[in-house]
Structure 1
């Protein structure tokens, strides 16, 4: 019981700096998790609607990095860098996401994967260094809508794979 109370205090300490987006996906947890482990998967679904991704380097392991550019529908390129800080297959991924390896404004995202029968609930909890950076991400970059669209793209991608595998 003491652990639960302590976690509640920790969560409330970051509440004004975080966003949470979740979705239930009609695919097995192992498949949803796997969609994060290979660049061939990520390049098919990563990002909000209309965005595409070009990968420069990719190494999925704790301490490994994904160096990539997201291309917006309006032609704007966004340099991105993710460092994987914790990987616990098929339950959890923690990552640090910024514009570059040493970005002082990088934010931490925790992705939790939970089985719900034959489906998977994914919860993406992102904590920004400051409330101002969180507010900027939400207001200027539409982080919540973008996160919802990204999880929707993931859902469409893995649901299609799961259906093909069932048909074999």
Structure 2
């Protein structure tokens, strides 16, 4: 929901096509942002429980692409492709995510990184082309739980970096 100028709540025109996941990450914003933008970090935490990631190509810039394969616990490989449409360090990243360049089912995501004291609040807002594709992602691919697990892995990964740095 958003507010109009009169304080009257209005329903987002994309609400039935969205998934929004957020989490407080126990690490500074610059580090959390870096963990999303450097392939050496991404390969260490990206994906839901039990998944691993193999990167084929990575070019982090507006118009750049990340071509990768996620490997499921059951041995299934999932071809993935991301292209960044906006990068505003360390506050925001916008991207298109599909199975391949030109995928008609690709969805758009905006990630925001907000300071929360010594921690960072990250929000992933994903908008699918249709309600049906959103529902399929939730029901068939468990997108909400997978997103939560992915952010949990990020939290654990960057928290460990902070812990090691504090130990010196």
Structure 2: which 5+ residue stretches go unaligned? none
Deviations 1:120-156 (A, max 9, x none): 0100000000000000000000000000000000000
* RMSD (Å), alpha carbons: 1.4
Q: Which residue of 1 aligns with 2:124?
A: 124
Query: How do residues 1-168 of structure 1 correspond to structure 2 at under 5 angstroms?
Result: 5=4, 12-168=12-168
Shift of 1:5: 2.3
Equivalent-residue separation in structure 2 for 1:105 and 1:58 (angstroms): 21
Find the residue that maps to 1:138 and give its secondary structure: helix
Query: How far apart, in 2, do the equivalents of 1:37 and 1:137 lie?
Result: 24
Secondary structure, in 3 states, of the residue corresponding to 2:37? coil
Judging by fraction of residues, say which structure has more helix. Answer: 1
Query: What is the distance in 1 between the residues matched to 2:167 and 2:62?
Result: 34
How far has the Cα of 1:167 moved from its partner? 1.8
CA distance in 1, matches of 2:12, 2:102: 27
Distance in 2 between residues matched to 1:4 and 1:162, nearest whole Å: 38
1:4 Cα offset (Å): 5.4
What's the offset of the Cα at 1:51?
A: 0.2
CA distance in 1, matches of 2:4, 2:82: 31
Please, what TM-score do these two structures have when normalized by structure 1?
Answer: 0.94
Between the two proteins, the alignment pairs up a number of residues equal to 164
